[in-house]
């Protein structure tokens, strides 16, 4: 039904040589695996080199951010057309680090989501509560607010090309992963929000979990009915752990592997 999707978010790490080596090692480990989609998101400076290394592989390429305009006087920004030119089919938007460190608000993220869709780039849109919000038991409230803000004006067709990532901020880079039941609760809530907005696509949209995913903790999270994949930070920087995470996410009936 929903093809599992595992996305590596390399954040601000790796030079072009390191990035190319990593993606070659990842491909060696996942080639031949079927029934799963694998995407890597290098920093902007490594996109071109990684794009070349990924030619004729079944690994997709994504960026970690993007601006809302196709071109113009926006010093330091990167446009959807530039990403497409390098072969990017995905873009992470609204990551909690963009929200917390760079002050991105739901309204801007919403514009970016609509822009990505306009240029046929799949947006992977992050939502999730901070530790304080978690402790105040405001998870659902926060998710709902971010959902309403970042997904304004999406059509049913747009939704079919959109990926949501639930990333509790308290789990990102902390080694503290959500319990499978916590993840499932949040994911099921997101799917309810989806159903109340666009019932006909609610079952199609993939909802990824993110936050301290490791090879030994992801299987149980991935086994939850509303978890359709993972957004992996730290553990995506080592081929071995990333490959293991991909393998632990294969649909149960898939024994063999990726068509290259
Ligand atoms: P982490 O990062 O796996 O290192 O916690 C996840 C993310 O920020 O996307």
> Looking at ligand 1, which atom is closest to the CA of residue 171?
5
- Give yes or no for residue 13 CB within 6 A of ligand 1: no
Which residue CA neighbors atom 6 of ligand 1 most closely? 233
Tell me whether residue 163 is in a domain.
yes
Which residue CA neighbors atom 1 of ligand 1 most closely? 233
- Give yes or no for residue 211 CB within 6 A of ligand 1: yes
Tell me whether residue 254 is in a domain.
no
Q: For the chain, what is the domain count?
A: 1
- DSSP code for 171: G
Task: State the Cα–Cα distance between residues 144 and 163, nearest whole angstrom.
Answer: 16
Q: What six digits make up the tokens of 127?
A: 């939502």
What is the reported pTM?
Answer: 0.96
- Give yes or no for residue 6 CB within 6 A of ligand 1: no
Residue whose token pair is 């039941």? 181
Tell me whether residue 255 is in a domain.
no
Tell me whether residue 128 is in a domain.
yes
Which residue CA neighbors atom 3 of ligand 1 most closely? 233
Which residue CA neighbors atom 2 of ligand 1 most closely? 233
Decide: helix, strand or coil at residue 70.
Answer: coil
Domain containing 29 — which CATH number?
3.20.20.70
Residue 256 pLDDT class (50, 70, 90 cuts):
very low
Q: Give the residue-averaged pLDDT of 67-82.
A: 98
Tell me whether residue 260 is in a domain.
no
Rounded to the nearest integer, the mean pLDDT of the chain is 95
Cβ atoms of residues 249 and 25 within 8 Å: no
> Looking at ligand 1, which atom is closest to the CA of residue 231?
9
Tell me whether residue 52 is in a domain.
yes
Residue 1 pLDDT class (50, 70, 90 cuts):
confident
| Distance from Cα 86 to the centre of ligand 1, integer Å | 24
- Residue ranges making up the domain that contains 58: 5-248
Q: Which of 170, 218, 233 to mutate to test the pocket of ligand 1 (most atoms within 8 A of CB)?
A: 233
Task: State the Cα–Cα distance between residues 117 and 25, nearest whole angstrom.
Answer: 31
Tell me whether residue 257 is in a domain.
no
Tell me whether residue 258 is in a domain.
no
- Supply the pLDDT for residue 253: 64
Active site residues: 95, 167
**The pairing of beta strand 90-93 with beta strand 206-210:** unpaired
Residue 59 pLDDT class (50, 70, 90 cuts):
very high
């Amino acid at each position: 039904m929903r093809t599992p999707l595992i996305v590596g978010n390399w954040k601000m790490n790796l030079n072009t040589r390191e990035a190319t080596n990593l993606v070659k090692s990842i491909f060696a480990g996942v080639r031949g695996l079927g029934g799963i989609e694998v995407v890597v998101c290098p920093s902007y400076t490594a996109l071109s080199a990684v794009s070349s290394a990924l030619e004729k592989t079944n690994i997709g390429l994504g960026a970690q951010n993007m601006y809302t305009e196709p071109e113009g006087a926006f010093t330091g920004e990167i446009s959807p057309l530039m990403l497409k030119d390098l072969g990017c089919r995905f873009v992470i938007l609204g990551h909690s680090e963009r929200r917390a460190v760079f002050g991105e608000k739901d309204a801007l993220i919403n514009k970016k989501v609509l822009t990505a869709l306009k240029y046929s780039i799949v947006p992977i849109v992050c939502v999730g509560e901070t530790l304080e919000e978690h402790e105040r038991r405001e998870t659902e409230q926060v998710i709902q607010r971010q959902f309403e803000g970042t997904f304004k004006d999406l059509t049913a067709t747009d939704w079919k090309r959109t990926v949501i990532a639930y990333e509790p901020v308290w789990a990102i880079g902390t080694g503290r992963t959500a319990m499978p039941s916590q993840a499932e609760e949040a994911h099921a809530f997101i799917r309810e929000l989806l159903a109340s907005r666009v019932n006909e696509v609610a079952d199609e949209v993939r909802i990824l979990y993110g936050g301290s995913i490791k090879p030994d903790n992801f299987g149980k999270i991935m086994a939850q009915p509303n978890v359709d994949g993972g957004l992996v930070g730290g553990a995506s920087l080592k081929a071995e752990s990333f490959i293991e995470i991909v393998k632990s996410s294969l649909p149960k009936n898939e024994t063999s592997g990726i068509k290259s």
